[in-house]
Amino acid sequence: MKKGLLVIALVTAIAAAQAPATFEGDWQGSLSAGPNTLRLLFHIAKGSDGLYLGELESLDQGVATPIDRVQVTGQTVRFELRRVNGTFEGTLGADGRIKGTWTQGTPVPLELTRVATALTAGADPVPPPPDMLANIIKSVGVPMDIEVPMAPMPFPGPAGGLNIGYELHLTNVSPVDLHISRIEVFNGDISIAAYEGTELNGILQRFGPNPTDKRTLGPGLRAVAFVWPRLAARATIPKTLRNRITVDGFPVESMVTLSTMSPMVIGPPLRGSNWMAANGPSNTSIHRRALMPIEGRLHIAQRFAIDWVKVDDGGKTFSGDPKDNKTYFAYGSEALAVADAIVSATKDGIPENIPGPDSRAVPITLETVGGNHVILDLGGGHFAFYAHLQPGSLKVKVGDKVRRGQVLGLVGNSGNSTEPHLHFHVSDSNSPLGSEGVPYVLDSFEVLSNVAAGPKTNALPLENMRIKFAESR
């Protein structure tokens, strides 16, 4: 379940061929955002191969994500933050401070001060003893276990082509550190995706202490690589793909078998226009990365989930008091059955939150995380999850047979939610989070603002696309 629709997604990671040691470490500053002040903490570290990596942590929002690029010229540094179209440019002065400007539409002064504590993202990794690693590789090959926990199912996106999102669980089974320098995906002999440098670091997720440089795996540790290769629109879907992971200069390969199933075709979960697919399907969405340990297994039920928010022409989700649920355009919209189905689970009676990043009406547990919700058994091992509904608005109960387009409840702001919206996903069992998310396609909709604008059929809207739903048949 998403942590929230963040007001400012200040997130990053950096890459530079070389930078002076004076820029390494932790840097803190405060950014004025309207009436609020956001405390920022930059983590900058250097990988074992000399690559600079980092994170920008928004302390007041609880957000920490990688930086895209840093450029250093003498005592001047420039950070580029592509996700939010933001940049920071500053100069390191004799007083040890970096004085500069944050630009995200409007330039705002920002001064950074070095933090005297150790880098929280972790110390620089120590290279493995070359002779020990070489002997291991000579004896048994690259000592890494590679697992794909779920067969990926290709699905069409609105821009054409086929998307294939899956995970590689990479475990170091040796007594020395392993450094991953490249991951490449092949369809036969044709490379269809490749990740290295900061891009590789950005697709990796670690457990426990989360180092800035995620590419170096200590003995017994695991990293999860989130890959998202694409095939051409009319390409023949292969039976398998080949993954090549380069570890300390040595390649190791594994095959992944694709699912032979096709994505389920469903109708719209809502009515009307100007619905944005917030946190929707992409390789960087928070839903995509939501690994959850449920009943002794890791699951990603939200692998292809969407937080449907209704926006105006300026992209705002409300008009009026931001603390009043009723001022949000999505609030009170009717959540619709996407197919003829049977109601397999419901939850009601959870009070609504006051909109905001930290306001929760009840403690968040596995029972309350989805708020008031409905799960539909669509058949064929597919279950549709509708979350964050208004209390008392549910129109159905467990065991009811529903028809496509039937009203299930009203969009609200209950559970782990920051503002009124409909969280929707399809998974393979009757569990909000203890299941695996599977792709699906809407039979008809129109993309309103994107490079893929226009009417679409049998495709899945991707992250932040603004669409108009077709009338449910």
Provide DSSP, 58-114.
Answer: ETTTTEEEE--EEEEETTEEEEEEGGGTEEEEEEE-TTSEEEEEEEESEEEEEEEEE
**Confidence at residue 402, expressed as pLDDT on a 0 to 100 scale:** 98
Both structure tokens of 408: 């299930």
**Confidence at residue 62, expressed as pLDDT on a 0 to 100 scale:** 66
Neighbours of 103 (CB within 10 A): 15
Q: How confident is the model at residue 278 (pLDDT cuts 50, 70, 90)?
A: very high
Positions of CATH 2.60.40.10 in the chain:
130-257
CATH 2.70.70.10 fits 264-469, yes or no: yes
Both structure tokens of 144: 């890494």
The closest of 94, 82, 61 to 15, measured between CA atoms, is 82
C-beta separation of 265 from 188 below 8 A: no
Phi, psi for 242 (deg, rounded to 5): -115, 125
Q: What is the pLDDT of residues 388-403, one digit of tens each?
A: 999 999 999 999 999 9
- Say which CATH superfamily domain 21-114 falls into: Quinohemoprotein amine dehydrogenase alpha subunit, domain 2 (2.40.128.120)
Positions of CATH 2.70.70.10 in the chain:
264-469
Q: How confident is the model at residue 215 (pLDDT cuts 50, 70, 90)?
A: very high
Least confident span in 7-11, 191-195, 468-472: 7-11
Both structure tokens of 294: 């449920």
Which SS3 state, helix, strand or coil, does residue 402 take? Answer: strand
Positions of CATH 2.40.128.120 in the chain:
21-114
| Alpha-carbon gap, residue 427 to 439, rounded angstroms | 8
**Confidence at residue 19, expressed as pLDDT on a 0 to 100 scale:** 38
Question: Which CATH number is 130-257 given?
Answer: 2.60.40.10
**Within its chain, how far is the Cα of 331 from the centroid?**
24
